[in-house]
Each structure stands twice: as C-alpha cells, then as structure tokens.
Structure 1
C-alpha cells in the first residue's frame, strides 16, 4: 500500500509537489508536477491498488460563501499557532466547479470520507497545521514567500523544515527520506539556494512529503488524528493538536 502527498497548486501554471511513501515509511517518489495529466502520471505507479492520497487543497466545497465548518473548527484549534486555513467556497473562481482537488480525486476514483473502509481514499490535509503537531512548534515555520520576509529568513525556515522531516526517521510511524536521491537533491537545493525563486521550486515537493506522511500517520495512528468537518461539507485531517 502506498501513501501519496499532493501539495496542489490552485492553477495549472504553478508547480504542484508530489510525493509517495510506502507502508514502511520509505520515500519512493518526490518531484514537482505541472498540469493534471502530469500529476496523475506521477501518481499512476502507486495508485492502481490500495492507497491513501493526502491533498493540500479543499476536496469538498459546497458552500456558496464563507468558510466550511471544518475550516472553522480547525481554525479554532490552530489559530494560536498561526496555522489557520483559508476559506473555500463556490463563490471563489477556483472552487466554482468544486475545485481542482475534487477533479483529481474523481480521476483517481478515491473515496473522500476519511472514515470509510475503502482501500482507496483521499484526505484533505494542511501541512502547516500538521507540522505544528509533528514537530512540536509554537508557531508555524515561515518559509512561504510573503511581504516582509527576506531571503535569509525564508531559507533558514525551509532548512528547518528539511531537518524536522529528516528527524521523523525516529518517529512512529517512521519516515525515511535520507537515502532517497530526490530528497537529497531537494535538501541540497535549499542549502545552496541564492534566490527566492529557487526556494519556491523546492518548497512544494517538500510540503508534499509532509502530506504523504500525514496519510501514513492517519492510517497508522487514527486515534492520534482529528477529522474536522464532515463528508458532506468537507473533512480536514491532521494530527491532533495539544490541548489548550
């Protein structure tokens, strides 16, 4: 069984990160992808049989305005960590037809209910929230390009994320990335980057590895994960945050 992660760009022009780990936690694939056909082609060797695909994008969007119930619930728990989710609704152009994530899951014929007994499921996940729990952070890592963040900060924070992911080698379940050539190239590209654009090319596949690990974590330790929302309005799955 394989556990895939997709850090999905909202449009076809921006890169999407794709990663896959096996049931033992070994990284089997990590790369950037382009359009839907490219994403599906990269996933194809791993999604013909039993699989869990964790997608960093809304998978069920039915509300015409505002936020989905799952987003409201997640934000209540994670806002203090600066890890709140952006609202998704069909009034936004990206989700007028349900969204790209839903389209990919239909193409892969995946069940969108995290509680389903189906051997082929999709999970909506949120790497920032997951990282807070998995890495014991007080605040999210600030490696995303935003106004006021300079190159030095972005590189340092992305390098921290690389280190945290590598430390999951000793976690339960383990994640083993340090022997994978694709991962080693990603880590080196972060270390040697000299421009923000180089960091942006690396962050999507790195986030996809976090997504894939959340799929493995949820499948292995469901009692230590929280499902926000419901199948009718959209579920978001993340490791359970510490109590207030």
Structure 2
C-alpha cells in the first residue's frame, strides 16, 4: 500500500509531492519532489503507482466544491474546531479562481480509479483519494497550542518555524502508529533544497525560494502521513469534517 501526499498549488506555483510505502508494518519514505504543471504531477503519480496498485492520494486542496459562493461546510467546521489554533482554512466556492483546477485534479484522480473515501474500512486495500489540511493535523499530531507559522512573515521567522516543523516530524512521527521510518532518506530532486535525512535536520533555507521548496515537500509529507493515518485507523482515530456531496477534510484526532 502506498501513500501519496500532494500539496497542490491551487492557482500557480509548484506543488509538493511525497510518496510513502507500507513496508514491514511501518511507513517507509520513498521520495519527495516538486512539479509545476498538472500533467507533470499526474505523470509523477503514475510513476509511483502502477494502474492496479493500492494507494491513498491525500490532497491539500478542495477537490469537491458544490457551492457557487460562500464557504463549504468543511471549511466552516475547520474554523469552528480549529480557529482558536489559527488553523481555519481558506473558503472554497465555484467562483474562486482556483476552483476549476482543484476540482479537475480530483476528477483526474477518479479517472485513475482513486475513489473519494470520506468513510473507509481500516487497513482495507484499495485506491482512494481524500482531502486533507496539514495545519489542523499538526495541531493534533504534535499537541500544539497554535499552528507553526512558516508560510508568512519575515524570512528569519519562517526559517525558525519551518525548522520546528522538521524537528516535530523527526521526533514524533516515528513514535506514532503508523510509524514513519525516515532513515536512509535521499531527496531525489536535485533542484529542491536538502530534505530531512534520518534524524538530521535539513539545511536551513537561506532564501524565500529555497524555503518554499522545503515547505512544499514537508507539507506533502504531512499529507501522505495523514492519508496513512486515515487508512490505518479509519474513524477510530480520525475526524471527518463535511461530507462527500459538499466536500470533506480528513484530520487525525488529538493524540492521547
């Protein structure tokens, strides 16, 4: 079973991509990458997953949008449950400029056999896709009191917050179920900044461009892990905001 994380560029900019594999009762890091064009993203997915191979693709983007204006129910619920952590998501509706791209991406995955899975039987093999949102996931997985603000602000502030995220990934994800093995990690995309290797932090990004490259890949890694957590535990240790008709977001429950 493979787990693909897609930090989709909603309108422009590169998308972060990550592949994890379920091996020997744990998750093994396979590869992170970044691609710009949707066709290149889909080609990367096709290289990672054969046409009949079981996998979950977890996408940080609204791939189901039914409302012409306003906010989806799932978006509203992120603000209700995670607003105090600064983890409410951007509103999605069909009038937004990104809507066509994100919805069509979900349809492209469906054409490859990846069905939406707002409900799932834990650890059942299949080809699924889900919408995820890393910010509330980090709140629950890492027991945070607010989000790590590595996406906005001055470079020095974003560097610090991004390094905190790296440290949480290194220290915590290997201790959870499913466990993530980060040893022998090699970033195969030489155009991107250095990635996490085992228990070692990556090089601190020294520019907005290199910081964004690392950020995209870390977000994709989180997406892939959320997909694995959903497959491993199902509704027992995850929550689902929204529904299949109006759009939904899968979030790991608070760790106890």
2:238 to 197, 207, 225: 225
Q: Is contact 2:60-2:134 (8 Å) kept?
A: yes
> Structure 1 residues 189 and 163, CA, compared in 2 at 3 Å: closer, same or farther?
closer
Query: Is residue 21–residue 27 contact of structure 1 (8 Å, CA) maintained in 2?
Result: yes
| Inter-partner Cα distance in structure 1 for 2:87 and 2:77 | 12
Q: Which residue of 1 aligns with 2:16?
A: 17
DSSP-derived class of the 1:83 partner: coil
- TM-score, normalized by length of structure 2? 0.86
1:78 aligned onto 2:82: yes
Q: Distance in 1 between matches of 2:28 and 2:100?
A: 37
Look up the match of 1:121. Answer: 128
Instruction: Give, in angstroms, the shift of residue 234 of structure 1.
Output: 0.8
CA distance in 2, matches of 1:189, 1:197: 18
Given that 1:8 and 1:101 are in contact with CA atoms closer than 8 Å, whether structure 2 keeps it comes out as no
Q: Is 2:246 aligned against 1:239?
A: no
Return structure 1 stretches of 4+ with deviation > 3 angstroms.
187-190
How far the C-alpha of 1:107 sits from its partner, in A, is: 4.1
Aligned residue for 1:162, secondary structure, equals helix
Tell me, yes or no, if the aligned pair for 2:28 and 2:181 is still in contact at 8 Å: yes
Return the match for 1:172 from 170, 174, 177: 177
Alignment check: 8 A CA contact 1:56 1:211 kept: yes
Query: Which of 34, 45, 48 is residue 46 of structure 1 equivalent to?
Result: 48
Normalised by the length of structure 1, the TM-score is 0.90
Task: Indicate whether 1:110 and 2:114 are aligned.
Answer: yes
Three-state SS of the structure 1 residue aligned to 2:181 is coil
Query: Is 1:64 equivalent to 2:77 in the alignment?
Result: no
**How many Å apart are 1:242 and its aligned residue?**
7.5
Alpha-carbon distance between aligned partners in 2 of 1:98 and 1:181, rounded to the nearest angstrom: 29
Report if aligned partners of 2:159, 2:204 keep a CA contact under 8 Å in 1. Answer: no
Partner of 2:140: 133
**Which digits, 9 at most, give the CA deviation of each residue in 1:153-185, with x for residues without a partner?**
110110111111112112211111232111992
Q: Which runs of 5+ in 1 are unaligned?
A: none
Secondary structure of the 1:215 match is helix
- Give the match's secondary structure for 1:185: coil
Q: What is the CA-CA distance between 1:203 and the residue it aligns to?
A: 0.6
* CA displacement 1:101-155 (0-9 Å, x = unmatched): 32442343311132156711101000011011111110000100x3xx2111110
Determine if contact 1:20/1:29 at 8 Å carries over to the other structure.
yes
Q: Identify the match of residue 195 of structure 1 among 192, 200, 207.
A: 207
| Runs of 5+ unmatched residues, structure 2 | none
Higher helix proportion (structure 1 or 2):
1
- Residue 93 of structure 1: CA displacement? 2.2
Measured after TM superposition, the shift of residue 33 of structure 1 is 1.2
After superposition, the Cα gap between the structure-2 partners of 1:242 and 1:51, relative to the gap in structure 1 and judged at 3 Å, is closer
